[in-house]
Structure 1
């Protein structure tokens, strides 16, 4: 895998990001080692809180390692300072090493939901638009296209879906949250 990263860098990629999901009792003891492995390289590791991304991953709130804890662990050895978002709607909070040895990120969708500033939608392989990773259903765009809608009609339908969305799953999540939702792998994570 590292050889693949070096090759990607050699062919002109400016920034390389690696995402790693952190799950208590599974790999949370490796957080510092992972950060140190990529410290001083052009690779930004983004630590993701273990999420309930469907119903098949056996999610339990007790297995979530809060991003704040992850950043504290790294910063205790290699001091970090927060960075501003690189763009509106960025899902990862970013920190840079105070000594300039790179940066790390954290996606805190469980402990610090960002539903209100979310700018993401996904389209499944069968043409359904999902306005949230945790949606229980999608909106059928394929039918619109097959019925011959114009670009303007498609644009109006997309705007209507987006403007009417009320997705707040991550903000409302609790240990007792209903489990009926799409599998993240179905919509491309």
Structure 2
């Protein structure tokens, strides 16, 4: 197992397939000037599948989430999913995406074995979308969401980040829209993972702000089920069956129950989104290390996982890598 010194066991693997993206969301990437990983530094499809196989068969991983950058930009994505679906025991597989490209890939991904998707959408207003993402692709995301639902990639979850002065007034409208279309909406506090290092705690929209806004229109009842290691606190909307979630990594950290391990697109193990250290698996792979050695390196890395993200520590330093290069 991937166990740490605090007794937490990692069963959820987040795999970044690329650091590239076809949007430039203000809370994630600058409009221009971000240097991409060189192609030789990226893991190949075979290397990704091998590492996932080691994680699933030797290290107890039961869930795999494909992330980016934008994972739909990875040419071999469908094949990677199909090969991982053939593993024993088969992991649950999901994808975090901006939704652009789902209209052409959702059916193939479902046939390959993908179980569900999380789609990022921060606004219902095309003009605000263009301001936030610096691209005019709002309709493509909406089309992608419909394609995912029709392909059976359910539950379709929608991830939303609220930004002051841009979309912070949209929480109730977004929830009403999600309920109407049978999507599960999850609000995510903005985290200090932007490439330009412009995040400020005193300027963020908090979980408390979000819930106060939602309650102006909806009745929210805490879900009875135990949250466990799930990052989102969830509430029944007007008694159910629809739910809304809030991921409050900054103001309500959930590090004590964390069950995640992360693999970057260039083959580095990260124990936390906010970790300053990484452990290289790509070098071991390419030097001919057997699976047993890969597993040993991975276990040692996770054994050293820190107790928490350190966001409340006055000495906290934002990771050098932005979210787009770490994987969500």
For the aligned pair, the TM-score class normalised by the smaller chain equals: 0.7 to 0.9
Deviation at 1:54, TM superposition (A): 4.2
- Report 1:15-54 matches (<5 A): 15-54=155-194
Which 5+ residue runs of structure 1 have no aligned equivalent?
none
1:124 matched residue in structure 2: 264
Q: Which has the higher contact order (CA 8 A, sep 6+)?
A: 2
- RMSD of aligned C-alpha atoms? 2.2
Does 1:182 find its partner at 2:182? Answer: no
Q: 1:83 to 1:170 in 2, by over 3 A?
A: farther
Does 1:143 find its partner at 2:283? Answer: yes
Which 5+ residue runs of structure 2 have no aligned equivalent?
1-140
Deviation at 1:6, TM superposition (A): 2.0
Cα separation, 1, equivalents of 2:297 and 2:312: 27
Give CA deviations for 1:51-71 in whole Å, capped at 9, x if unaligned. Answer: 101451510111222212212
Does 1:67 find its partner at 2:202? Answer: no
Cα separation, 2, equivalents of 1:135 and 1:54: 14
SS in 2 for 1:51: coil
Cα separation, 1, equivalents of 2:313 and 2:157: 28
Aligned residues: 188
Deviation at 1:186, TM superposition (A): 0.6
Cα separation, 1, equivalents of 2:203 and 2:166: 9
Does 1:134 find its partner at 2:274? Answer: yes
Q: 1:87 to 1:147 in 2, by over 3 A?
A: farther
Alpha-carbon contact 2:191-2:249 (below 8 Å) kept: yes
Cα separation, 2, equivalents of 1:68 and 1:27: 16
1:158 matched residue in structure 2: 298
Deviation at 1:79, TM superposition (A): 0.1
**TM-score relative to the length of structure 2:** 0.53
Q: 1:87 to 1:81 in 2, by over 3 A?
A: closer
Deviation at 1:153, TM superposition (A): 1.9
**TM-score relative to the length of structure 1:** 0.88
SS in 2 for 1:56: coil
Cα separation, 2, equivalents of 1:85 and 1:143: 42
Q: 1:67 to 1:59 in 2, by over 3 A?
A: same
Cα separation, 2, equivalents of 1:84 and 1:159: 34
Alpha-carbon contact 2:221-2:239 (below 8 Å) kept: no
Cα separation, 2, equivalents of 1:140 and 1:85: 38
SS in 1 for 2:250: coil
Does 1:6 find its partner at 2:146? Answer: yes
Give CA deviations for 1:138-182 in whole Å, capped at 9, x if unaligned. Answer: 1111111122222222212211111111152245345x6333532
Q: 1:79 to 1:171 in 2, by over 3 A?
A: same
